[in-house]
Chain A
């Protein structure tokens, strides 16, 4: 949002924005808007200025405007960014091209269909499956700081999907479970309270899971929360491989989905 006392300025920044109205357009097009330049504005501020003052039909998602909700992800000059974290001053005076997140179907303007991502979060069971069910009366599940540290980084995901927009594997193979879902699955696999690794493995360790990843690493490069999904996936590959050899060499032993 604008500073509390915006200084009138003759400086202007040009935004080239992807438009698509399904009810009237066969093809998308780019619309150019001139937005006043403010030192402290982010791209989201510019989009809201456009919507409020210039063109109320422009459609886009946003919420917290401070980088924690994951709603405002878009392509800014070809890079997946949270538009609330993309500062105009970093691009000015160049034209800023704003497009919907790559590799997702476009519903309207800058809004993409994220159903595929949400389905995959469910497929790979990104929730705690307690090792031991116990009633509330028996108290909390206890966890030491050392145990917490093991999965904490992967728990920082805000589901913004920038990683999916950076991943050329997802772009070419939409059946790929994808970086965030796999990182979150690994987050729960590493959680000491969790006992769901075996169940997750059916999807997580399938061809569409970790094994589709070729470690391009762009997912980790664009992640605004430093989750490092690429790291999570490679570590999962090691676990899956150890499990596989164990099941092949010791077939009568207990099959484990989690490794210490």
Chain B
């Protein structure tokens, strides 16, 4: 037994949990209903979303929640009975989160 390196994953999980907790409900409300119910035009929302700070906002809302999912899912999969995957789950989950983060950075930074 030795001190684990879990803290890096746990802090990403916590940060992602905070971001999802505070920002997801209102953002879902907007993305689901704002345009479809004609509260804002698609052009207006599109203009906002393209702004640099909005791009940063969207990046944070993609990356950190993905790491939140990764950490939680890595453990819940074991709880659900997939004990055989214990070795590979961290790589699959954090790997996917890393991939999503990279894609988001590329799309929002250079797209």
Contact = CB atoms under 8 A, between A and B. Distances in A.
Answer whether A and B are interacting partners: yes
Interface string B54-88: 00000000000000000000011011000100000
Interface residues of B, number: 15
The residue among B3, B7, B8 with the most chain A CB atoms within 10 A of its own CB is B3
A205 B2 CA distance: 7
B53 to A, nearest CB: 27
Interface in A2-59: none
Give the secondary structure class of A's interface: helix
B79 A214 contact: yes
Nearest to A241: B7
Contacts of A240: 3, 6-7
Nearest to A206: B1
B79 A205 contact: no
Interface in A211-250: 211, 214, 237, 240-241, 243-245
A211 B74 CA distance: 13
Contact of B1 (A168, A172, A202, A245): A202
Contact of B4 (A123, A172, A207, A214): A207
Contacts of B7: 237, 240-241, 243-245
A214 B75 contact: yes
A172 B3 contact: no
Contacts of A172: 78-79, 83
Given A168-B79, A172-B79, A214-B75, A206 B3 contact: yes
Interface of B: 1-8, 10-11, 75-76, 78-79, 83
Closest 9 CB pairs of A and B: A244-B7, A206-B1, A241-B7, A211-B6, A205-B3, A207-B4, A211-B4, A203-B1, A214-B75
